[in-house]
Amino acid sequence: MSDARAWDSPDDAHRLIAKALAELVAEDPTIPPHPYLSRHLAQHAARGRVLDDTHVPLAILPWESSRNVRILLRQTGATQQQDWLEAWAGIEPFVRDADPDSRLTSLHLAHHTATCRRLSLTARPVSERRLAGSRITPLWSDWTAPDNVLAVSDTLVESLAHTTTAPGRTLLISGDSHGTIRMWEANGTPAGAPLHTHGGAIQHLLPLQHDLLVSGGTDGAVRVWHSTRGQQLVEPVRRPHTWVSALALFEPADGARFLLVAHSDGHLTALDPVTFEPADTPLPALDPAPAILTPLATADGTALVIAQGRRVVVWRPGRGVVHISEHQGEVRAVVALPSGGRYAVCDDSGYLGFWDVSTGHETVAAGPAHDGPVIALTTLAVDGRQTVVSAGLDHTLRVWDADTGRPVGGALEGHTDPPVALTTLPGEGQELVVSAAADHTLRRWKLAGHGTRPRRPVRRPVTAAALPGPTVVPALLAAVADGAGTALWNVRTGRHVSLPAGEPPVTAFAWATVHGDPVLLTAHSDAAVRLWSLYAGNAVTPSLRGTLLNHSLPVQAMTAFPHAGATLLATGGADGSVRLWHLGDRLELAHWDDHALSVRDVTLLGTGEDALIVSAGSDGTVRLWDPGTRRASGGPVHCGQQVVHAVTTVAPHPDEAALIASGGEDGTVRLWDPTTRQPVGDPLDARDGAVTALASFHTPAGRPCLAAAGPSGTIHLWDVAARTHLLRIVTGNPLSTLAARQTGEPFTEHPVLLAAGTAGVCMFDVRLERLR
């Protein structure tokens, strides 16, 4: 093709521009590219229909500043090789202001988890797993992350709606816990500046004609906005000391329509939807309680379904109120169905049912709907049939046939906290469902073919994971438990063995050497701890060796250690107790009930005869126990971190005594002198939510480091001696477990870190020597 013909179409022009710009990107991803490349290369490639790893090289991605790669991939679809682009798109919403080292390292890990699932070290040598500039070498992973994140919010989104503006542009609208309204394009791009509005959370949004939007919040105020101009027009209602419990547009068969506003005290207000002045119309008297309002078209006019507490009634103008149903749990949502006179209702008991107002009877019940309360509902057509989508406290969405009440396909999984709001969006050929959850994500769900196409496998959240020390098991084994069972994985060979089926779910692991033999300890949801011998000859063949009983609730953390010629085990349970066991004799030696609430973590301070057990609790304290005297060692440390989720120990210098590190609900890691019980230095602040997992290790040069993680899905690494933040490794999925293993591997001299959570488990060595 000649240059003249190459420019005949805009697509060809952008393709040639992308090709030329890509040649300007250095092969070394640590070299900053020109800002124009960082900002515009991906867009040129997308418009030229060459959005692939060749035209947008991986070396540009840690510097990418448009923050639109994920959206561009959705718009253009699959082209050529896109492994690195897809890996970047998975973490792009979460990397935000991370430094280039952190971005590159996170990209490296994301690419490995997406392309090398369960791949052994022998299948791909370690040297081929390295990436210039990355601070890790991925070793092994079993990771499956959902890829339907539409947007990530800094705040909790509590309400959703969608509108089509006068030019025909579809916008998603969200209201959050801080009183802010945001507009989003259907692809997740912010549309305009946010509207900072209410003094409380915005829990209700109602789009009207002519680009108007009505919002209701926990401050008791109703506000009217011009959605495309971003202007507040009027505040027609404000009732202090109440909150808005419902907004609805009601149109009686024989009269003008009006806007209904329900407040938490049962007060009902009617407004003219054009002038927003009070409307003179008779209204039903409600109980002094929050009400849910759902207008419903029937054969003889429009009715209003009203839910208060457990009771559902129907009101028709001029005909009064008719009682329909009394539910086992508080009603959480009511949605009108397109087939006249029918609605779906859900409640806190987990009930979801379909009702007909003309008969006042239930037509069909769906169930069991969810494992726990059903929180929100929406309705849409899926493959030609009317369905209802429900959101539950069990973190899932489910789809139901509105006529039969039967499930359509399996559960929609991906949220890591309960969804709290649902809406629909027009899509290509069929509507999409959008959900907002307490995990701060907005996710979109394509339901075309749902129930007929094969379900995409969803990784069950890891409930426990652990690495053995090299003196316990020389081979690099990973013990991993999830909803599918418990297995031991050999990272080098990629082979695994499963623990016998039928055991209750595992809540914690520990490794130990008992009488010279390696032993795996598993804590279970039935509050028992089981001991497993690992080897039969040279083969890994777990066999049950014994059981420890005495906790009344599940053990949440364990640590084993040698002491006075024996192997001891410390366990911390949800029953608030710390217990000490002799593993050789399988006897309890001591128990301490000083924690007022559950024990979240245990670790060991020191070694040998001077070792102390350290426990962290939901009561906000860290406590020390002497296994020799079998008594408390001094008073508690009141950490001031709300719940203390995690605890570990680390020495700032090789010749200094170890400090205690505590990870808290307030998002900080604090260091404590175990002798004085006083804090050492300022807190280390993760600034992205609770710290629920900690691990400590030393680099080959002796540099002491701390790793911290939590529901944000980011692993933070600090240099303890210098008190500097070294690295953020972003996974985009909540993490619950960190474990470190010091050197001892034939393939690396660097410490190995294991991270596990909702998406699975991954392992990598950490290379921090050249960082700050």
Q: What is the pLDDT of residues 567-591, one digit of tens each?
A: 999 999 999 999 999 999 999 999 9
Same domain? 566 vs 636: yes
Buried b (16+ CB within 10 A) or exposed e, 281-300: eebeebeeebbbbbbbbbee
Q: Provide mean pLDDT across the span 285-295.
A: 96
One domain, residues 69 and 159: no
Whether residue 442 is contained in a domain is answered as no
Is the pLDDT at 262 greater than 70? The verdict is yes
**Calpha distance 762→142 (Å, rounded):** 6
pTM over 0.75? The answer is: yes
Say if residue 87 is in the same domain as residue 187: no
Q: What percent of the chain is predicted at pLDDT more than 70? A: 96
Question: Do 469 and 366 share a structural domain?
Answer: no
645 is a domain residue: yes
Distance CA 757, CA 738 (A): 9
Three-class secondary structure of residue 271 per DSSP: strand
Res. 15: pLDDT tops 80: yes
Q: How far is residue 200's CA from residue 187's CA, in Å, rounded to a whole number?
A: 28
Residue 605 counted as domain residue: yes
Q: Tell me the pLDDT band of 453, cut-offs 50, 70 and 90.
A: low
Say whether pLDDT at 765 is over 50: yes
Q: Is residue 319 part of a domain?
A: yes
| pLDDT given for residue 2 in this prediction | 44
Q: Which residues have a Cβ under 8 Å from the Cβ of 516 and sit 6 or more positions away?
A: none
Of 370, 394, 415, which residue sits at a domain end? 370
Pick from 313, 345, 370: which residue ends a domain?
370
% of the chain exceeding 90 in pLDDT: 72
Q: How confident is the model at residue 536 (pLDDT cuts 50, 70, 90)?
A: low
237 and 324 part of one domain: yes
pLDDT for 4: 45
Tens of pLDDT, residues 598-627: 999 999 999 888 899 999 999 999 999 999
Section 318-343 average pLDDT: 93
Q: What are the tens digits of pLDDT across the range 737-749?
A: 999 998 656 667 8
Answer yes or no: is 33 within a domain. yes
Quote the pLDDT of residue 452.
Answer: 67
Boundary of a domain, candidates 370, 405, 420: 370
* pLDDT at 163 > cutoff 80: yes
Report d(CA 591, CA 581) in Å as an integer.
Answer: 9
Looking at residue 301, its pLDDT comes to 84
Q: What is the pLDDT of residues 216-261, one digit of tens each?
A: 999 999 999 998 888 999 999 999 999 999 999 999 877 789 999 9
Task: Find the domain containing 740 and state its range.
Answer: 462-715+728-766
Q: How confident is the model at residue 173 (pLDDT cuts 50, 70, 90)?
A: very high
Query: Do residues 335 and 374 touch, judged by C-beta distance below 8 A?
Result: no
Is residue 425 one of the residues assigned to a domain?
no
Q: Is residue 418 part of a domain?
A: no
Residue 509: which residues within 8 A CB-CB, separation 6 or more?
464, 465, 466, 479, 481, 520, 521, 522, 523, 558
CATH code of the domain containing 227:
2.130.10.10
How far from each other are the two terminal CA atoms of the chain, in whole angstroms? Answer: 50
Provide the mean pLDDT of the chain. 91
List the one residue out of 73, 135, 70 whose CA is nearest residue 100. Answer: 135
pLDDT, tens only, 651-661: 888 778 899 99
pLDDT for 380-431, tens place per residue?
A: 999 889 999 999 999 999 999 999 999 998 889 888 889 999 999 987 667 8
SS3 for 47? Answer: helix
- Confirm whether 443 is domain-assigned: no
Task: Indicate if 671 and 604 belong to the same structural domain.
Answer: yes
The total domain count for the chain is: 3
Looking at the structure, do residues 663 and 743 belong to the same domain, yes or no?
A: yes
Question: Which pLDDT band holds residue 10 (cuts at 50, 70, 90)?
Answer: confident
- In this prediction, residue 454 carries a pLDDT of 63
Whole-angstrom CA distances from 39 to 44, 69, 85 are 10, 10, 15
pLDDT at 455: 61
pLDDT of residue 5 exceeding 80, the answer is no
